[in-house]
A and B are shown apart, each in its own frame.
Chain A
């Protein structure tokens, strides 16, 4: 079943008075339970696309359909894990996880029950009463994931959530995220500039073309899970994506030089 559909999404940005085409007709079908990775060079508009799906930005034309219904505003059916976590420092970990539930008017007892479940899942139980400044970057991203999952969204959006992590922490979270995906059967769109990440996580990898951005190629990765960072069999996918991206990076460098 099609969960989410992006239809011909176009977005322009104003750059010193000149319009720049950020997204030039993005079409994407996301099936229920898909783990989609969007990979592309930085500045290619992949985060903009995710923001549009989240409803945080509006496209100039085109539409996003969730379960067949057009969406235009942000909503808890599409929760986002932001690159920098975007956790609220004035709240304890547990209250961060419960924030969306509170906004939805869910009673306190029920909120506690739900948040405990996701804190357990992300191995954060011990840190429930900590404040955000007391956590490492990796722990913060765990909280951000727990917070997004607690809303039980239709679709989970992740915007380079592991970009700021050290590689050991990242490898660990890459495995955990796959297990969570299998356990919760969530539909996930994961944006990254890191090819390895996209190969490890995605069952579909969408390679974004440079400005004006389009989807250049979709690569299907049907490989057993949990996939590990050091698995050499994943190399072939890695190189396939790298080949697609190389020309983009070169084009981009030329673009910037002008």
Chain B
């Protein structure tokens, strides 16, 4: 039985990979055809090969890897702050009900607040530096963490809490051994959402505020009319966002959902 499941899973993976490859080929094919039709001058729309060339160039001269490194370092730092603070505020919201309810409504409003709109505020408050960029990222993702912490804990099935109390759990140990693990599947969903907000925010902030990073090489491409570099940067941004979501966060979510028995299809 286990063998079958494995076979099915690896078959599914191969199918997924084949579909992805097909989609990418079609996209590149259409792009190549549009390029050959000559609707836009080469400077506005380079061919896939030209972009690949630029991609190789900025990879080999180190500017792309360096930018990716800087962007990810900033992001991880800011996201770490966001998770830590957001979770703590979320816990406080649970502890003080009235406060929690009010803050929840405000946070929901700030959730849809465009991240780029924090940039002028951050520049004037903090400045054109690492902390200014990180501030934008934190403000763009923290509300998502707060809301998800708050609602995840509130939505824990009462039966888990009842069962735990029935077996003598209370206070800190109830919180640590039942509340947190019971809320985990839904906390992960919040984490994924916050990650996507943070990713939007860092690129936006870097375009406007930074002299290094992925967002920066994107805007350098624009300034030097180098569309190849613009597209190469965009592809990198897309790929990193996809890889982290798919191969880190989604994997984690799937694993947890399976273990928690939330996936009916096996």
**Measuring CB to CB, which residues of chain A are less than 8 angstroms from any residue of chain B?**
54-56, 74-76, 78-80, 82, 84, 86-91, 99-100, 102-104, 131-133, 147, 151
Contacts and interface: CB of A to CB of B under 8 A. Distances in A.
Contact of B166 (A56, A84, A90, A131): A56
A80 B163 contact: yes
Contacts of B154: none
B60 interface: no
Contact of B260 (A75, A76, A90, A103): A90
A132 B261 contact: yes
Interface of B is mostly: helix
A54 B167 CA distance: 10
A138 B65 CA distance: 55
B168 A100 contact: yes
B159 A86 contact: yes
B261 A86 contact: no
A256 B194 CA distance: 48
B160 A76 contact: no
Interface string B8-48: 00000000000000000000000000000000000000000
Contacts of B127: none
Given A103-B173, A132-B261, A133-B258, A88 B181 contact: yes
A87 B163 CA distance: 8
Interface residues of B, number: 20
A4 to B, nearest CB: 15
B169 interface: yes
Nearest to B256: A90
Contacts of A80: 162-163, 166
Nearest to B174: A103
Contacts of B181: 88, 90-91
**Which A-B residue pairs are the 5 nearest by beta carbons?**
A100-B167, A133-B261, A86-B163, A76-B168, A90-B181
B164 A99 contact: yes
A103 B168 contact: yes
B153 to A, nearest CB: 15
A151 to B, nearest CB: 6
Contacts of A99: 164, 167, 169, 177
A99 to B, nearest CB: 6
A114 to B, nearest CB: 13
A86 B177 CA distance: 14
B265 interface: no
Interface string B234-266: 000000000000000000000000111100000
Contact of B160 (A56, A74, A88, A103): A88
Contact of B165 (A56, A91, A131, A151): A56
Contacts of B162: 56, 74, 80, 82, 86
B186 interface: no
B63 interface: no
A145 B155 CA distance: 26
